[in-house]
Structure 1
Amino acid sequence: MRDLQLPQTVTAAVEGANVPPLPQVLLRLIQLLDDESSTVDSLAAVVSQDPALSARILTAANSAAFCRSTPASDIKSCVSLLGIRLVRSMATCLAVKRLFDSEPGTVAADLTDFWHHSLLVAETSRALAAATGYPHPGEAYLAGLLHDVGQLVLMSALGEQYAWLLSQAGDEDKLAELERTSLSTDHCEVGTWLADQWQLDSGLADAILFHHASAEEIVTASKLPRLVWFADVLARGVRGLAPFEELGATLFDTDASFEPGRILTRALDHVQVIATAMGITAQPEPEDAPAQRTLPNVTVLAPAHEPHDADRALAERVRDMAVMHPLQQDLHELTSETELLNALRESARILFELPRMGFLLIDRDSGDLSGRDIAGQAAIFRQTRVPRGSDAGLATRAIADRDVRSSFDDARPARESLLDRQLARAFDSEGVLSVPMVGKRRTVGVMLFALGHPAHARLRRRTPWLLNFGRIGGVCVEAWQDATASRKQAEDEAAAAFRRQARRIVHEAGNPLGIIKSYLRILDQKLPENSEVRHELDVLREEIDRVAGIVRRMNEVPTPTGAATSVAVNALIRELLALYDAPLFGDRGITVTSRLGEDTENAGCDPDSLKQILVNLWKNAAEATPRGGRFEISVLDGVVQNGRRYVEIRMEDSGAGMPDEAIRNLSFPDQAHSSADRGHGLSIVGSIAARIGCRISCRSKAGVGTTLSLLLPCVQVS
């Protein structure tokens, strides 16, 4: 069942829950992130060893900020989508968050046994999937890893209330009964609700939901829930069931070679290898403790609490990183405003348990406060524009006072701002928290968070941290905006310098072109009236005018599009061949065959642009074709595609073939990056073709040749 509904009180609590990872795994992740040789695969492997880290990464990757049409449902794709920089900032925030949670009076948990059990179920699920022919063992691993994630969420969300339930439960089955009695739900449903939020496959969510079903019930489920259920039973050593071999045969129709005990032993060995590599050792248990403890071991910290060794190492790591400094450093490395704001969202979610937020930024030119161009937030932010100097409520007051402001402050204006009410409605919250983003030289905007009374009470003592977080965000956004403005200024200056140089070139090139044209005019006057050379001279003058037009356009930004006219394509190609056949093909020993007829239908395009396309393509073909090769060109009119008529120009050469990069330059000219002349010429062809509505297709084979087809929309000859 998708979109499982939890009791409202539980939903409100778990939405902002900050699921704690095992400190040893978190420390290993931070160490890997500091190693420049680390890959996405190595990072995903570490994240996949901890259910809390996996839950955090899945939540971030499937958030609205990334606007994916298809949910990311495996850890590697999630890490790849988020990027190493964002994963690093999330890991840093999780480490800093453990400093918050180590304060006296807070609930702390030793997750070692829980981690061992989750990883053991994951490894066993994957091995069972392979042994029984399930086609997606990675999916089985993820389902096994997350099968008890609901316990972590409830522990983080409900604190002492859930700690009491854990203390009363001897095993998971008893815990599920206590959860249903006390909360009207259980950790199976909470974990499934979370999987639904990530939009994971329904079979995976069902595996979480049904892992405490009875043996009689689980037989009727699909295979993935059966795999995880059986892996959990094996890992917990549940008694009172049929022998495991018999149970496996019932669930998976296996033969005598199926040995669940051996599968479990290998999985245990694998988990032990991972635990040893991570430096994870199980805590000693009292003699009367259950043989297989799998639940988080929670305590309320006393003032003299002695931290765990891994927590001490993590705290030292954080101190070495100067607490918030690495976050700022990580944010500075992000390369776009969208990436930066997404990192701030995830950082706020981890550090302050504030899952719903938005941004309003100050426009550098007008001074207005707006969220118009910021993706991944509610529509009200995109629609908001507050003029400079206006009082629009908490957002503008936080900026003016350079301090945190909220709907629950003791000193509030008599009249509530309607914008504050709109934002609270958009957040579906009781109120709004506003944190100014103060840069080094100016305030750049404000962060706005959904806020309820419980969160307000919790955050009152963290106001300095919120202010510092706002400053970090402000400094990073300011630096990014300054860098963007500097790049634009440099680009504008380079463009201005190019235009000045282009004007000089246009002026200098215009003189010799004018002289050549005048000389041709004198030569024309000296020729006999009926000389056949006169036509060639006319073609030369047209080409000189075309070249002069190309040179003139060098200093025009953007390049103007020539007016579309009715072009007789066969006649135009004959004229060009008269000029370019010998210098391009004949002198290289390349045979040219032309199949040109009468122009019954003309092309509707700019003739100079078509000439530029053809000359560039002919030059490219001549350079690619060896001596003794051939070049063929033909024109076919009346070609119909999708109900529209075209004139087709088809060209075929026997050259070396066109490399992939050249084809990309022809098809995607905006992405052309080759500095070679051929690549540059083809990107010009692609740009001009797109501008005049010419459709180009290409077939090319190395050592055989290239065939190009140009489709030009045609106009009927009257």
Structure 2
Amino acid sequence: MESKRRNMDDRAGQFLSRIAASRVLPSLPQVLLKLLEACRNEETTIKEIAQIINSDSALCGRILGIVNSPFYRRAEKIVRVDDALFQLGRDAVRSIAVSASIHHVFSRVNGQSPFNMKLYWHHALLCAVLARRLSEKTAFKAPELSFLSGILHDVGRVVLWVHFPEEYGKVLADAGNRSELLLEGEARMGITHAEVGAWLLRRWGLDAFTIDAARYHHEPLERIHGAFPLIKIVYAANLLADMPDSDLSRSKVVRELFGLGFTDITDMLSAAREEVRELAESLGIQVAPVELPQQPREGKDGEQGDVLAGEVRDVALLQTALQGLMDAVDRDAIHKAAREGFEILFGTPAVLLFVHDRDRELLVLRDTGGSRLPPGQELTIPMGRNESLPVQALTRRAVLGSRDLRDRGALTIMDEMLVHLLGGEEILCLPLVTQKETVGVFVIGADRAAVQSLAAETRLLTLYGDQVAVALRLDQMRRAQARLYQAGRLAASSALARKVAHEVNNPLSIIKNYLKILGMKLGPDNAAQDELRIVNEEIDRVAIIIRQLTDLTSEKERVRQAVDINGLIRDLAAIIEKSFSAASRIRFHLDLDPALPGLVTDRNGMKQILINLLKNAIEAMKQGGSLFVRTKFLVSKDLEEMAGKAGGKAEQHMEITIRDDGPGIPEAIRQRLFEPYVTTKGEGHSGLGLSVVHSIVRDLGGTIQCESAEGRGTSFVMRFPLNGSVKKA
């Protein structure tokens, strides 16, 4: 006898060692779909998510197993799923749901197997509800622990089926609906589902009472009489859960264990069945009554499995498309990766990315997807009181297409322009929203059939849009943090500048006095008087810059006057060429448009821009080279056409280009070129020059772009409106 028992123990040990590397246990696709949907919806509460998880033993066990693991180092074990979710957080639960879904799709558990997942789910949930109600009716007042023990009591059956489908499948087929035959078959295998369940619950770190409730729920009644209350409750709930209405003999056991009346038991059973029915209905699960044969039901289950497989496919596709977003290091790279990811997922290259500018309440085009726009133009869509499709999509947070609005005659001119710009027949707008904050909009252009096909992929569109929104929002937060840091550094620089301003102004005053004396000695007709005038003006400008440096963070009042830009460039070129180019072998080339009209602007601000850019170009060409300065009067045909569509007049622009044939700017620096403290010159340089240039250009109402490639020189192109006003900084 002892030898036989030892052999049985050895066989059980072999089973458990094979189970030790346990795979994720399967759940019903309906439950997984509901959980995925709940996790995606930011309005769903933790309590609602917990209710879904509580209905499924595999999910319930996995959540509690994770939160009770040594990683969390908890002194007390958590037995409520609600408490576990607060510990883990929504993102962790979403990851668990996705993982379980993937395992379900690729597992061998299906509707045609001897193991019926739906009936198992129904029995476990009914047992849990009955256990909770029994706890409330008896002296053992622990309804949550009773529910947990009830939902997990039969988990060993799933483990045996997942790991030993052939052997356990034969046991199930031979046993039918009779539990005594099932236990005999399991004993012949070498281990029972009660033993496996207790072993697994111990590995999950659950409490001893829950483990023993699973271990003893098939013990003889005489052994149960002396057991702890929780073991009695789960034992009785398991009996009642399988009791058909035509055979109420099992109620005698419940009366014997707890002293409840027959009516109390039948009422409790009816109420528990109704509770489970309502929950099953909310999840879209249909379960046959216990009297019917346990035949697999396809149809609806197969459809739900297909839907879940679609969810898993979407997750797999997203991983590929999101790689570019994860690798992106700055805003432009994120914009480019977002559009390219969209093309990878949906095969649609005609995509525009608009980002929500909260300061100006505009949607600003950030990535054109190759669509041709007029030079120097920023395509924006006002958010306030705007009926255009992108604004509606973002405001309503819904995927919207132009076809419905076109049929109702509700397309705006902006919508039609976007259709033309993208070169398709229709547009589809995908809002980008994260944590209730609007981030931007994708505008997709395609023919009608392609847009209709895209509209059918709403789930995948939304999933991708959510990920892009998160990436964009994180970048916005990073940039805001960087601006705060830079503001602190600028404030510190201002404090230092105030300390040295007085000392610097003294020698400047002395130099100005000497220049005045020198001019008097030379006489008014001397040819050097013009050069002395330029030097004197530069000293005055240095004094102004020093005053401004005492508070780098304050706004500046720009003094507007008519400025001859060509004349200003000639004056600066003359003094810079004599100061720098002879020693550094720099050759100046001026190409100044004689038709260029005067510009009403801040002369000192414009002078500071030009000197900074010219000086940077000369310092970049350490071995000598050519420096090209060009001005051009622009009346763009593209601008006229765009303005004609809007019924307005095209603006005239002045373009100033400063180009060198130096070594170029590295890509990593070029991405952050106009940020403070970014420099290519090494130690001894503040890195403020180009940041100041960018700030002044913007203050004067212009735009500046940099084109550079390592080994092929650098070009700065500035454009200023000639018929626009100079704005205050």
TM-score in terms of structure 1 length: 0.42
> Rg larger in 1 or in 2?
2
TM-score in terms of structure 2 length: 0.42
Q: Which has the higher contact order (CA 8 A, sep 6+)?
A: 1
